[in-house]
Chain A
Amino acid sequence: MRAPAVLRRPRPTGRPRATAPRTAGRPRTALRFVLALAALGAVVVAGIALGAVRIPLDVVWRALLGQEVQPPYDVIVHDIRLPRTITATLVGASLGLAGLQMQTLFGNPLADPFILGVSSGASLGVALVVLAVGSSGWSGSFASGLGGGGDVGIAVAAATGAATVMGLVLLVGRCVTSSTTLLLLGVMFSYLVSALVTVLLAGATPELVHQYIQWNFGSYRGVTWSNLHVLVPVLVCGLLACLLLPKRLNALLLGERYATTMGVDVPVTRTMIIVVTAVLAGTATAFCGPVQFLGIAVPHLCRALFSTSDHRVLLPACAVLGAALALGADVLAQLPGDEVLPLNAVNAAIGAPVVIYVLMRRSPSGVPA
């Protein structure tokens, strides 16, 4: 940290120009966006090329341009790699944005998209379906869908569970003025719902418990084109809704009371943020299971890499980097070949060291990331 005396020293150039270098900082931000987009592009190519079957780059290129792909590859590209790529990028962008909004709303660097109980609610829905199906003897027909997480029944159950818990949190939130209290309420709701899930699982057969655990690992595979007809519009709408929020989110950086004195309607803003987050995280969870780590790590990564707290930069940055990281992790998860590593394990194993490195490198002077 530099000494205050140094800070106070007047500029030699005389004329005060407080905000002029802001524009000078813009090309750097633009350059970083270009790099982030390039990274995303590279990961998309890798996402289509790599997997159990390697696909030549020229085929990948033609597939990306929407041209015909020759027979040995067309099924793989069309039915597996493209849906997986679309799902991973959209879910990654959604979770990154949702995490950023939660961290800003609660002024808490540990907040993630699931902090208010979205994923617990979804788990409850899934656990209920698993149990109901298991006891009625349909498990055989269900198992295929469960592993991939793309089954419509599972998705509906997860979405219903998530929506129910978020509705409860919002309802209770109307009577709570402090966001910290709301945060604690959400965490408590999560615990309660998890307790219910545990009770349900305790009575299930090992096979069903395994299916539930598979769902809990998270996966972008198994999302079909018909699933995408739901997933894509909902997530795109959610992502676009975030465009309404950067000004309000920026004001919230100074805390809710300062935001109020600046003319922000804090209760309305809070509801907007929670609804948008719930739609993004809830939909993602419904189709892909609780994809951990992205929501908490991507915002930190973006703040550090773009060295800003301005949400007009952070929102698009989190979307791009979230998409790239999500897809990158999934590509790595299936590098071993036929065996596919659990997605959440890969997310944490790659992401956590990266974030730790970025945080340590970028804040030597006590500036929090």
Chain B
Amino acid sequence: MTPPLRIRDLTVGYGRRRRPAVVLEHVSADLSAGELACLVGPNGAGKSTLLRSLAGLQPFFAGEVLLRGVPVGRLGRAARARTVAAVLTDRFDAGRLRVCDVVALGRHPHNGWSGRLDGTDRRALDGALELVGATDLAHEPFAQLSDGQRQRVLVARALAQEPAVLLLDEPTAFLDPPARIALLSLLQRICSEQGTAALVCTHDLELATRYSDHLWVTGTDRGLVTGAPEDLAVNGALSAPFAQPGVHLDLRSLTFAPTDRPGPTARVQGRGVRAALAGHALRRAGLRVPGEPDDGVDRATDQGAGVRNGATPLVSVDVDGHGWTSTTATGRTTHHGCLEELVRHVRILLRDPAVRDPAVRDPALGEAPGEEPGPTEGGQA
């Protein structure tokens, strides 16, 4: 089966043909029906340029874009618009347009010269509104929608074009976290139910790895790497473009986290939410908490690492029925009714000069492997 979108040896960039600024070269990728792919990469790596070129908003310099197997140059404007629809970052003054008016504009490549909607158009319009769950918003003024509703309606507008390929440029940019998740799961559902192929350009790598069937990663030598999120994580292609000193990709959660620097550690004893939150608070206070998912160290070999390295934890925290009890290295125990107290307590402990200088506290720590600042790759270790 021909994929709805196939890119062969594509070179994109901006600027006039006389002085082209190439940002991505020799890019090849396929997007198959029902697939949700996320286009990720650091700023300036050409995500948006690629997406805009695919949407027909700017020309590409070389290569081929095939829509349902047909080179894009051989499709007319309307035919192209019936194959590819886009949700862009453009803010527009919606004036007195109602939600259903905005979605009805998506029928533009289908209806006649006057833009009058016939039965098919209305069914497509209603269907699109229903898919994104905006049926009851149909007669609200578009300008009064919240950002989350707005994005859903813009997705509906794109769906009303009945495209084989849906392109979305930073659709989650102005959304709060729950709305981001709602939007991505909506897209995932649309792709699997409708067989639409979607390419989402996003900064939100954590969301991308959670929802996409394939990741398209830009930012490595002006090229594009594609694959399942987990595979790309394992072979290092996912973290390479984002490499930055002090930040690493945690392979278990596929989230970015600051790489731990050598320093005092803490230990949390117990399980469950309260233990996890205590770990969170301790990390916020500036301590390393071995055994937590985002410490940049492979957990399988890390059980009790602090103890094995000879580094006595600065504090050890027990979860009890009323709160948390911390025990310092010297054996002093304090009870904390809330985690703010714990953090305050730890910060006071950290002001001790002997604690702040790891060499004084524990000479062996500086030699421990995997502790140097810089990107660490759990998968390669």
Contacts and interface: CB of A to CB of B under 8 A. Distances in A.
Interface of A: 1-2, 4, 7-11, 16-19, 21-22, 107, 109, 244, 246-247, 250-251, 253-255, 257-258, 260-265, 303, 307-310, 312, 365-369
Given A17-B126, A265-B77, 16 more contacts: A1-B144, A7-B137, A7-B140, A9-B136, A16-B129, A16-B135, A19-B125, A247-B115, A254-B92, A260-B56, A262-B81, A262-B105, A263-B78, A308-B96, A309-B94, A309-B95
B183 interface: no
Interface in B55-84: 55-57, 76-78, 80-82, 84
A306 to B, nearest CB: 9
Interface stretch (B106-114, B195-203, B212-220, B301-309): B106-114
Nearest to B82: A263
Nearest to B135: A16
A253 B97 contact: yes
Contact of B96 (A10, A250, A367): A367
B135 A18 contact: yes
B146 A258 contact: no
A153 B27 CA distance: 63
Contacts of B81: 261-263
B193 interface: no
**What 9 pairs between A and B have smallest CB-CB spacing?**
A263-B81, A247-B115, A18-B138, A309-B95, A263-B109, A16-B135, A262-B108, A263-B78, A263-B77
Chain B residues touching A, range? 35 or more
The residue among A22, A303, A366 with the most chain B CB atoms within 10 A of its own CB is A22
Contacts of B97: 253, 309-310
Nearest to A1: B144
B276 interface: no
Contact of B126 (A11, A19, A365): A19
B352 interface: no
B362 interface: no
Contact of A309 (B101, B115, B146): B101
B231 interface: no
Interface string B123-146: 001100110000111111101111
The residue among B84, B96, B97, B111 with the most chain A CB atoms within 10 A of its own CB is B96
A10 B113 CA distance: 35
17 contacts: A4-B149, A7-B137, A8-B137, A16-B130, A19-B100, A19-B122, A19-B126, A247-B108, A250-B108, A254-B102, A257-B57, A258-B86, A260-B57, A261-B81, A261-B88, A262-B106, A312-B115
Interface string B153-176: 000000001000000000000000
Contacts of A16: 126, 129-130, 135-136
Given A254-B105, A257-B57, A264-B108, A307 B137 contact: no
Nearest to A10: B136
Contacts of B56: 260-261
A16 B139 CA distance: 12
B131 to A, nearest CB: 11
B92 to A, nearest CB: 4
Contacts of A261: 55-57, 81, 84-86, 88
Nearest to B141: A367
A303 B138 contact: no
A367 B101 CA distance: 15
B221 interface: no
A190 to B, nearest CB: 24
Contacts of B78: 263
Contacts of B57: 257, 260-261
A301 to B, nearest CB: 13
The residue among B82, B105, B143, B144 with the most chain A CB atoms within 10 A of its own CB is B105
B100 A22 contact: yes
Contacts of A253: 92, 94-95, 97, 105
B92 A107 contact: yes
Contact of A369 (B88, B95, B102): B95
Contacts of A303: 95-96
A33 to B, nearest CB: 17
B130 to A, nearest CB: 6
Contacts of B93: 107, 109, 368
B90 interface: yes
A255 B87 CA distance: 12
Contacts of A308: 96
B115 A11 contact: no
Contacts of A307: 96
Contact of A258 (B88, B122, B129): B88
Contact of B138 (A19, A246, A312, A366): A19
Contact of B139 (A21, A109, A262): A21
